[in-house]
Structures are given as structure tokens and as C-alpha cells.
């Protein structure tokens, strides 16, 4: 819920790029932040009445390596460690500024830093914190379960406090969320050992079968109601492979049978109306694999819907997305 002071607060968005591509097997997502900017993301957000500040891209070149022994089955661990520390530090500072942070990826390993930052901020603010994982994949592998050793497939498990990557943040605070606060949505690819771990943790999964059977409106409303029930806030981690490859071909890990263009817009529109979203990742966009920028443009359109873009005018709920007071 918002109060009168919050509704009058300036609506501010802080955009930060994290051009990471070593967490995935297919290189090229390091060009994702530039592609999203080129596709007009900042212009769209500005047209919706937000004060938008682009903080550029996170830099890690000057960060010193840590001395912890790299775990087995974690490709490019040292590189991802630098990115995770940098993104977590910058994201936490942006959240404390009162703006809504938007992280431009980069592969999904960036969420190890972004979600940690948001969880840390909201714990200090005394608010319950939830994560909506819009993704074809569960990303709940650990070094002990992974088949590929690619760290973008371990991001969700890391943010829930699973072991195996315990030194990733060095001396920085690791603020994990309860598995009950993670909502996987649109999932259609889960590894065998990963599935068993998720079953043990009782992770909430809305797969494409559920979406086909019940519809996205009913299912995303359940997520919203769960967050609202405890006056919580929501971080949306949007992997563009959540969308069907016919809609978004510019990803390295396409899985057939994903969300349609209209289903994705409905999700974003309902999230906007709910007023619970306070941060966002956009990940796994690979312009090298895109078709004339089509996936980047689609992602920008969906973010527009998340922040209030409408085809026709509708009354905006009093608790629609705004910056926190």
C-alpha cells in the first residue's frame, strides 16, 4: 500500500547496465544493454512521466580478485564474482536513493547481484520481499546439480541461499530470500536434479501447462495477492526467453512453447496496476541472434506496459508503480 506522501513523490527510475555474457554458453548478451537503450527504453519510460537517469554500465575492470577457492562446476566463477559484487553494491546504492532500479543485462547471472541488492535494501526497510522469475528455465541448479556448469543457470538457487557459491560476494552481505518468496513463472525446462532440489524446497512453479489451463490473468493475480497479503514488494526478473521464440528470437537458450506477445503484455499490465513492483531485471537479450532488433523492441514495449503504457485510457489504481517515499 502507498500513502499520500508516496503518491506525491517524484517518480524516478535508475537504469544501470550489466554487460555480462560469461554466465551463459552462448556469448553476445554483453551487447544487451546497448540494444535496449537503442530500442528506446529510456525514451519510453520518460514518456510515461518518469524521471529517468541512466547510470551507464557497471565496470569491473579495476576490481581485485578474491582469494576464495573457485568451486568446481562453476564456469568463469572469478569473472561472475566480480560482476556480482559490483552489481550488488551499485544496485543497493540506487535502491537507497529512492529510485526504481532497472538492471539491463547481460545474462541471468546478473540477478545474483541485483536481487541480493534489493533483498538487502528491503530487509533494512522492514518490507517483505518477493521475486517473480519470468523465464523458460528454473535456474535453480547449483554446482552440485548442474549439467553445464554455466552460472546463469544457478542464479535463482543462489538468491534463495543454496550452498555451493558461498564466497561469491566476498565480505559483502549476502541477503537470501526464503524459497517461499520466489515465484517461477512460464517455466518449461528443468533439469532432473534441479527439479528434485526444487521439490525439496517447495518452490512455486507456474509452468506453461498451468498457463494453458488457467490463463495468465488468474495465475499472475495469485502472485500479486500473495505479495499484497503481507504488504510486500516485488522484484521482476524478466528473461526474454520467457517469450516464445517466434516473438523473441534474440536469445541463446530458446525453448519452444513460451508466452505469447499478448500474454506477456497482460502480465506486465496487471503488475503495473498492482503497484507492488519496485525493481526489474531484463536479461538474456542477445542482439547477435536477433532479427533486426525485433526482440529488443518487444522487450522495451513490455517494459512500457509494466510502467503504465496503455492502448486506451483506464483509471490508474492509487497504488500503481511509483517510487518509494
C-alpha cell at position 293:
532488433
Marked catalytic residue, from 263, 281, 284, 290 = 284
Angstrom distance (rounded) from CA 190 to CA 146: 11
Angstrom distance (rounded) from CA 307 to CA 320: 9
Marked catalytic residue, from 21, 107, 191, 239 = 239
Does residue 133 sit in helix, strand or coil?
A: strand
Marked catalytic residue, from 21, 191, 241, 269 = 241
Residue 49 Rama label (left phi>0; alpha psi -120 to 50; beta): left
Backbone φ, ψ for residue 238 (5° rounding): -105, 105
139 is catalytic: yes
Marked catalytic residue, from 21, 107, 108, 265 = 108
- Own/partner contacts of 146-150, CB < 8 Å, gap of 24 or more, are 146/73, 146/191, 146/194, 147/191, 148/25, 148/75, 149/73, 149/74, 149/75, 150/23, 150/24, 150/25, 150/75
65 is catalytic: no
Quick one: CA dihedral 267, 270, 272, 274, positive or negative?
negative
246 is catalytic: no
Marked catalytic residue, from 21, 139, 183, 244 = 139
Marked catalytic residue, from 135, 194, 244, 281 = 135
Marked catalytic residue, from 21, 76, 107, 137 = 137
265 is catalytic: no
284 is catalytic: yes
Does residue 75 sit in helix, strand or coil?
A: coil
Please choose, from the candidates 228, 229, 317, 302, the residue with its C-alpha nearest in 3D space to the C-alpha of residue 269: 302
C-alpha cell at position 315:
483509471
76 is catalytic: no
Marked catalytic residue, from 121, 152, 265, 272 = 152
**Cα 242 from chain centroid?**
11
List all residues 6 or more positions away from 324 whose beta carbon is below 8 Å from its beta carbon. Answer: 6, 9, 98, 125, 278
Please choose, from the candidates 144, 185, 184, 179, the residue with its C-alpha nearest in 3D space to the C-alpha of residue 159: 179
Parallel, antiparallel, or unpaired: how do β-strands 51-57 and 233-239 relate? unpaired
235 is catalytic: no
137 is catalytic: yes
Q: Which residue numbers are catalytic? A: 108, 135, 137, 139, 152, 239, 241, 284
Amino acid at each position: 500500500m502507498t500513502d499520500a506522501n508516496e503518491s506525491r513523490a517524484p517518480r524516478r527510475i535508475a537504469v544501470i547496465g550489466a554487460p555480462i555474457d560469461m554466465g551463459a554458453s552462448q556469448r553476445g548478451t554483453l551487447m544487451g544493454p546497448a540494444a535496449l537503450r537503442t530500442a528506446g527504453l529510456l525514451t519510453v519510460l520518460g514518456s510515461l512521466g518518469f524521471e529517468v537517469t541512466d547510470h551507464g554500465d557497471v565496470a569491473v575492470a579495476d576490481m581485485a580478485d578474491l582469494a576464495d577457492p573457485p568451486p568446481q562446476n562453476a564456469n568463469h566463477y572469478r569473472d561472475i564474482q566480480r560482476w556480482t559484487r559490483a552489481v550488488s553494491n551499485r544496485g543497493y546504492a540506487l535502491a537507497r536513493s529512492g529510485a526504481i532500479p532497472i538492471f539491463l543485462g547481460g545474462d541471468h547471472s546478473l540477478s545474483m547481484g541485483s536481487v541480493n541488492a534489493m533483498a538487502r535494501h528491503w530487509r533494512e526497510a522492514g518490507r517483505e520481499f518477493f521475486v517473480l522469475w519470468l523465464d523458460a528455465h528454473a535456474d535453480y541448479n547449483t554446482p552440485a546439480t548442474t549439467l553445464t556448469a554455466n552460472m546463469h543457470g544457478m542464479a535463482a538457487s543462489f538468491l534463495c541461499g543454496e550452498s555451493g557459491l558461498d564466497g561469491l560476494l566476498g565480505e559483502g552481505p549476502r541477503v537470501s530470500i526464503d524459497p517461499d518468496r520466489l515465484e517461477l513463472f512460464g517455466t518449461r525446462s528443468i533439469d532432473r536434479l534441479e527439479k528434485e532440489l526444487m521439490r525439496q524446497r517447495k518452490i512455486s512453479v507456474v509452468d506453461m501447462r498451468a498457463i494453458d489451463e488457467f490463463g495468465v490473468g488468474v495465475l499472475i493475480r495469485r502472485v500479486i495477492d500473495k505479495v499484497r497479503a503481507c504488504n510486500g514488494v516485488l522484484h521482476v526478473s524478466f528473461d526474454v526467453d520467457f517469450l516464445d521464440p517466434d516473438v523473441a528470437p534474440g536469445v541463446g537458450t530458446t525453448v519452444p512453447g513460451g508466452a505469447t506477445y499478448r500474454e506477456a503484455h497482460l502480465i506486465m499490465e496487471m503488475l503495473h496496476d498492482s503497484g507492488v513492483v519496485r525493481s526489474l531485471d531484463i536479461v538474456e537479450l542477445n542482439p547477435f541472434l536477433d532479427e533486426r532488433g525485433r526482440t529488443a523492441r518487444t522487450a522495451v514495449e513490455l517494459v512500457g506496459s509494466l510502467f503504465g503504457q496503455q492502448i486506451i485510457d483506464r483509471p490508474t489504481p492509487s497504488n500503481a508503480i511509483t517510487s518509494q517515499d
